[in-house]
Structure 1
Amino acid sequence: MTETLPTFPMARATGCPFDPPPQLRELDPISRVSIWSGETPWLVTGYDEQRAVLADQRFSADSSRAGYPHQSAAINARRRTFRTFIALDDPEHDRQRKMLTRNFMVKRVDAMRPRVQQIVDGLIDDMLAGPQPADLVTAFALPVPSLVICELLGVPYEDHDFFQACSRKLISRESPPEEAIAANEALREYLLKLIAAKQQTPADDLIGRLVSGQVAEGELTVEEAADMSVLMLIAGHETTANMIALGTLALLEHPDQLAELRDTDDPALIANAVEELLRYLNIVHGGRRRVALTDVEVGGQLIRAGEGVILANDAGNRDDSAFPDPDVLDIHRKARHHVAFGYGVHQCLGQPLARMELQVVYSTLYKRIPTLRLAIPLDEVQFKHEMVVYGVHTLPVTW
C-alpha cells in the first residue's frame, strides 16, 4: 500500500493567523512531503536540523539543478529564465554578493536612520491628517520600505505602482507562469533603461555604483546588473512591508506587549522586540529550498544526492528546543538566533536594513498614534496565504 504523504504548504488553523500550520508542527524534524509538482522532497522542521542544512554547502541553492523543489510553477519558470545570485552556489554566489555587501554594512545602514525616521514621521503625519479608517498597508507599511529602497538603489519612487504590481505577480504562488515571466521581463526592461541612463549620467546610488564599477570593469553584464536590481527592489520592499503590517497586527492582538513597546525609550528593548517579532511571525513561510549534491546524513536521516529539501523556517522558529514557550510573543526574549533571515552563506544580505527600518517603525508608530486599533474584526482581515511572503492584503485601522 502506497503511503499518502502530507502536502506542503499546509493551511494555518482558523483563528490562528500568526502560528504555523498545526500539521506542520506534528511532523518529525525531517520527513517526506508532497508538493505541487508531484515531487516528494524532504521537509525539515527542526531548528538544529535547519541550521545544519543551511550551513552545509553539500546542499545546493542552485535552482536550475534537477531535484530542486520550486515553490510553484510560476517561480520555476521565472528562475529558469532569470538567474540571480541567491539561486547560485559559491564561488559565483560569493563573487556577486560581495559586489553589494558594503552597501548593507551596519555602519552604512545606520547612517540612513535619520532619513528613515523622516520618512516614517512624514507618512504618519499624512495618515493622521487623512480620513479614518485608514489602510495601514497602503498608507504606511508599503510606502516606508518602498521609499527607502528606491532612494538606496536610485529608482524613481513615482514608479512604485508599476514595480509593486509586478512584485505581487512574482511572489504569488497562484500566478500563471507566463504572467510571472512577463512581470519579471517588464521589471528587467525598466531597470535596463535605468542602467543605460546611469551609464550616460553617473549617479551616487547603489545601481549607479554598480554601473560605474563592476559593469564598467566587465565584472558584471548589464543584464546581470538589471536582474540583481530586480531582486533588491522586490526583496527590499516586500518583506519589510509585510513585517510592518503583520507585526502591528500581532502587537494589537497582544496589547500588553504593545503598551510596553509604545512606552519605552530603550533602544535595546526595541531592537529585541524586532528580533522576537521576526521569530514569532516568520513571514517567509514557504520555506527555503535546497537540493543535495551528495548523500548527506542530517539528524540521523540519510538524504541522497539529487533529493530536494525544504527548510520550514516558521516551524524552526517555533521549535521549543531553541525557544522555550515558542508560541508566546515575548519582546524580552533573546531571539536573535532565529532563522527568519536564513543561516549560512545565503542568509539575507539586507537584514541590517530591515532591522533598522523595523526599529524606527516600531519605536515611532505606536507613540505617535497611541490609540491605534483595528477598524474591523480580526476574522475579517485578509491574510496572504497564497503568497510566498506572508502578511495581510489590507489592514484597516483607526484611532
Structure 2
Amino acid sequence: SFTKDRRIQDLLADNVDGQYEAIQIHLNNYWRGHWPTHPVQLNLHGLPEDLVVEVISDFVRQEKTPDQPIHTYADWLLASFGRTFAETFPMQYTRKYHLTTAENMSTDWLGPRIYRPTLEEVLRGALSTAAPQKHYITHFRYPTAGGFSSYLTKFISDQRLNLECEAVSIDPKSREVGFSDGRVESYDGLVSSVPLTDLVPMIVGVPKDVLEASQRLACSSCVLVNLGVARQDLSEAHMTYFYDEDICFTRLSFPHMLSPNNAPPGTGSIQAEVYFSPKYRPFDGEPEDWIDPVLEDLRRCGILREDDTILHRTSMLVPYANVIFDLDRAEAVETVHGFLDDVNIGYCGRYGDWGYMWTDESFKSGEDAASKVLDASGG
C-alpha cells in the first residue's frame, strides 16, 4: 500500500503484526526500444533527438498559448504538454489502459496521477539522467509474507461471513435480498460494493432511466498473465508502463521484488496486464489464449531471453479492473446514485462509488457507507 494516511498505514501494519517491506519504488516505461524512467515528461534524455526537440518546442509554444477551455482529457493533455508529447505517450497509453480515446474522457479522475512539469524540469530531464522523482507513488509497503491480501486477514477473522452466495434480487420496499439458492434474507440497512452495472438490474422496480444509466457506465476488465522464471534479474523497475500498441500488455509488475517470500530464491516473477472493456473492447476467448502472446512480447522487448526457463505460467480474467471516466460517466453515476439514495441502498468502494479509488480510499468509502447506515438506523 502506498497510502499516506497515517491511520490507514497503522491499521494495515497492525494487521500484519508490523511485518512488512518498506520499498522505495522504481518505475519505468517502454517505448520503441527505449526505457525512460517514469514519468516520461521528466525523463526525455536518451529518446530520439528529433522527438525531444519537437516535444520541447511544442511545450514552449503551448506555454505561450492563451488558456483554452478544458472539456476533455485530450484538451488537458494538449494544454499541459503540447501535441507531440500528448499524442506520442499519454494518448497512446490511454487507448491501451482505458480502451477509449482521450477525446472521450473527462478530467475528474486526474488528481495527482499525471505530473505537469515546468519548462525547466522538462529541459533538465532532456539534458540529464538525474531528473527528480515526481511520481505520486514513491514508497510502498508490502507484507513480508502472505501477499497483499494478508492485510485483510484480521478484518475477516472474527466476522460472520456468508460466502458463495450470489445475490440476484433486491426489493427495497420489503427490504429483502434474494439469492441464487432460493434463500431470501431481510435487512434493516444495506450497503453494497457490487459494481453498479450489476447492482442496478437486480433491484425490483428500478426505473427505466436508471437502468439505462447503469448500462452507460464503463469499466475495464483485465487478463492477468502470471509467470515464474528461473532467473531473478528480470528488471530494475518494480513496474513498467508500455506505450507501443503492438505490444499486447499495458503494464508489467515483478512481484518477487516486493518480498523475498513471493518467489523461491534465485527465481523471478512477472505479472502482465492485458486490458479489455465490455463497452469498448469486449473480451472473447479464454485467459489462457494470452499466455503465448505475452511470452512473445516479453522476448521481443528483451525482458525474457530465448533461453529463459519458464517455471510457472497461469492466467486469469479479472472482470472488473478500472473505472473508465468516459464522457457518459458523470451523468450516469449521478442518476444511479440518486436512485440508490432514494431507496436507501448504500454503496461503497471503487465499483459502488464508481470512482478511481485506491486501497485506502476504498476502505474509507466502506467506513463512510457503514456509518451512514448505522446513523440512519440509530445504531
When the two structures are superposed, what TM-score results if normalisation uses the length of structure 1?
A: 0.24
Q: Between Structure 1 and Structure 2, which shows a larger proportion of helix residues? A: 1
> Larger relative CO (CA 8 A, sep 6+): 1 or 2?
1
When the two structures are superposed, what TM-score results if normalisation uses the length of structure 2?
A: 0.25
Report which of the two structures shows the higher radius of gyration computed on alpha carbons.
2
